[in-house]
């Protein structure tokens, strides 16, 4: 007599259990499944894998008024050394009194150790910007401004070791009411002109935009074709720094280099009345200590990103180091 517990399942015409549920699973006989992990996960799994850093890039978000410029001068030289940075890019569209940029403020930013300045919707808020853009190849405005606009939307910076980094500036159209061409259509054309590993060793896109959806979609479009796509304009750093599946690093917004005890770099006292009443309310820049906010990206051979880490230094935001 066979004990019930040792009985093998049997099937016959009146068995209530369908045979397919009691026979050994066919899945066990299939070869093991291979999964393609996102690049970031693959890197995490092989944390000890060493890669050669081709270029170490710091991108800093919108430098807001005097506090932002002061923090750059104060902190950037030491940060450049500490992190062995090869190149520093900063968005400077709020450098002069919170709106636009001037020759003096641009020079202050360059003197602090920035190599390339990008801009955005406040590009033309100060007098003399046309002349500044015409004469400064390392200051770029959004590439999707209508043709005929003064200045350039991309620039290439050559490091002392001969490696080249191209920086492109784009401006979003969602919730920004300015006449600009489509940044997506233009990106398709720019991809044919600026090719990672051929025309440049690293490629950074600053997408100056309000909507997270627009920035994320542009980052996806450029995935595998740029070292870094970084958002600017909202002045608040987002917590989504990552390397996308095809190797392009991304963070939706770099944050600002400015006084965070303020409304995006403008004093609460000057901004709050605007929320209470309609009227002619002039915004005044905040004056407190600034936090430098941005990302450090390591480009590997071929120019794709191997690592992205946020950087926050000084002021009131939680520091990253």
Tell me the window of 99-107, 117-125, 189-197, 294-302 that interacts with Fe ion (CB under 5 A): 117-125
Q: Are 85 and 313 in contact (CB under 8 A)?
A: no
The length of the chain, given as a count of residues: 321
Residue from 99, 233, 235, 312 binding Fe ion (CB under 5 A):
233
Please indicate whether residue 220 is annotated as part of the active site.
Answer: no
Angle between helices 212-222 and 183-193 (to 10 degrees): 20
CA distances from 17 to 2, 23, 48, 149 (A): 21, 11, 50, 75
Active-site position among 11, 83, 122, 220: 122
Q: Is 172 in the site for Fe ion (CB under 5 A)?
A: no
Tell me the window of 105-113, 115-123, 151-159, 167-175 that interacts with Fe ion (CB under 5 A): 115-123
Q: Is 98 in the site for Fe ion (CB under 5 A)?
A: no
Report the candidate in 68, 162, 168, 62 with the shortest Cα–Cα distance to residue 121. 62
Report the candidate in 123, 106, 124 with the shortest Cα–Cα distance to residue 115. 106
Q: Is 121 in the site for Fe ion (CB under 5 A)?
A: yes
Q: Cβ of residue 279: shortest distance to Fe ion, in angstroms?
A: 23
Binding residue count for Fe ion, defined by CB under 5 A: 3
Q: Cβ of residue 243: shortest distance to Fe ion, in angstroms?
A: 26
Q: Which of 86/206 has CB closer to Fe ion?
A: 206
Q: Cβ of residue 76: shortest distance to Fe ion, in angstroms?
A: 21
Tokens 């799994």 belong to residue = 45
Question: Residue 81: helix, strand or coil by DSSP?
Answer: helix
Q: Which of 165/264 has CB closer to Fe ion?
A: 264
How far apart CA 195 and CA 187 sit, in angstroms, is: 12
Residue from 120, 172, 247, 315 binding Fe ion (CB under 5 A):
120
How far apart CA 167 and CA 177 sit, in angstroms, is: 24
Tell me the window of 11-19, 36-44, 232-240, 276-284 that interacts with Fe ion (CB under 5 A): 232-240
Q: Which residues are at the interface with Fe ion (CB under 5 A)?
A: 120-121, 233
Q: Which residues are catalytic?
A: 122
């Amino acid at each position: 007599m066979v004990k019930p517990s040792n009985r093998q399942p049997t099937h016959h015409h009146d068995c209530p259990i369908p045979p397919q549920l009691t026979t050994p699973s066919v899945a066990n006989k299939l070869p093991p499944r291979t999964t393609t992990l996102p690049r970031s996960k693959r890197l995490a799994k092989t944390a000890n894998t060493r890669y050669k850093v081709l270029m170490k890039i710091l991108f800093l978000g919108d430098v807001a008024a005097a506090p932002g410029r002061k923090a750059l001068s104060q902190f950037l030289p030491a940060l450049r050394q500490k992190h062995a940075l090869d190149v520093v890019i900063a968005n400077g569209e709020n450098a002069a009194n919170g709106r636009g940029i001037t020759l003096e403020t641009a020079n202050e930013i360059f003197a602090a150790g920035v190599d390339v300045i990008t801009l955005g919707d406040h590009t033309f808020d100060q007098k003399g910007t046309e002349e500044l853009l015409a004469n400064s190849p390392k200051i770029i405005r959004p590439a999707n401004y209508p043709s005929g606009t003064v200045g350039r939307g991309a620039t290439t910076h050559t490091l002392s070791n001969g490696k080249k980094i191209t920086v492109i500036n784009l401006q979003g159209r969602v919730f920004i009411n300015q006449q600009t061409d489509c940044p997506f259509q233009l990106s398709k054309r720019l991809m044919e002109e600026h090719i990672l590993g051929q025309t440049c060793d690293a490629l950074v896109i600053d997408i100056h935009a309000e909507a997270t959806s627009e920035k994320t979609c542009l980052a996806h479009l450029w995935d595998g074709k740029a070292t870094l796509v970084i958002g600017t304009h909202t002045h608040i750093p987002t917590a989504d720094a990552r390397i996308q599946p095809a190797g392009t690093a991304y963070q939706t917004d770099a944050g600002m280099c400015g006084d965070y005890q303020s409304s995006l770099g403008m004093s609460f006292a000057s901004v709050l009345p605007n929320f209470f009443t309609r009227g002619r309310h002039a915004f005044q820049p905040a004056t407190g200590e600034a936090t430098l906010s941005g990302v450090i990206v390591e480009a590997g051979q071929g120019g794709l990103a191997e690592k992205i880490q946020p950087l926050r230094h000084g002021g009131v935001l939680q520091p990253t180091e």
